[in-house]
Amino acid sequence: AQSVSQHNHHVILSEAASLELGCNYSYGGTVNLFWYVQYPGQHLQLLLKYFSGDPLVKGIKGFEAEFIKSKFSFNLRKPSVQWSDTAEYFCAVGTGGFKTIFGAGTRLFVKA
């Protein structure tokens, strides 16, 4: 069955620390890959996406993610986090079969 796993459920960092959130998926075909962010009390919004082309994609607010096809991974990175990055981060995989599968989410807390 198709699935998306996010390695960390909770991450606590100090401001200016570097961030890497892991995401792996299980699906053998062509995929669209997404990271969504949910700030406290708000709805999900797109952070970045990969459909094709350069496997290193840049999103809003200094986030980037790298698609490594051989590892079925799409890890999210940011070199220096800010307090305002405190949020829940969801990795998602669109398989083209009517369904986008979301990971369980990683809750990031950034200490000021």
Rounded Cα gap, residues 103 and 36, in angstroms = 10
Rounded Cα gap, residues 69 and 46, in angstroms = 21
CA nearest neighbour of 71 among 14, 112, 33: 33
Q: How many residues does the chain have?
A: 112
Residue 11 sits in the site that holds other proteins (CB under 8 A): no
Residue 31 sits in the site that holds other proteins (CB under 8 A): yes
Closest distance of CB 107 from other proteins, Å = 7
Rounded Cα gap, residues 90 and 1, in angstroms = 19
Closest distance of CB 46 from other proteins, Å = 6
Residue 2 sits in the site that holds other proteins (CB under 8 A): no
Name the token pair of 109: 């807390």
Which of 57, 76, 93, 110 binds other proteins (CB under 8 A)? It is 93
Residue 28 sits in the site that holds other proteins (CB under 8 A): no
CA nearest neighbour of 27 among 87, 97, 84, 76: 97
Residue 7 sits in the site that holds other proteins (CB under 8 A): no
Beta carbon nearer to other proteins, 12 or 16: 12
Residue 18 sits in the site that holds other proteins (CB under 8 A): no
Instruction: Give the interface with other proteins as residue ranges (CB under 8 A).
Output: 31-32, 34, 36, 38, 42-46, 49, 88, 90, 93-102, 104-105, 107
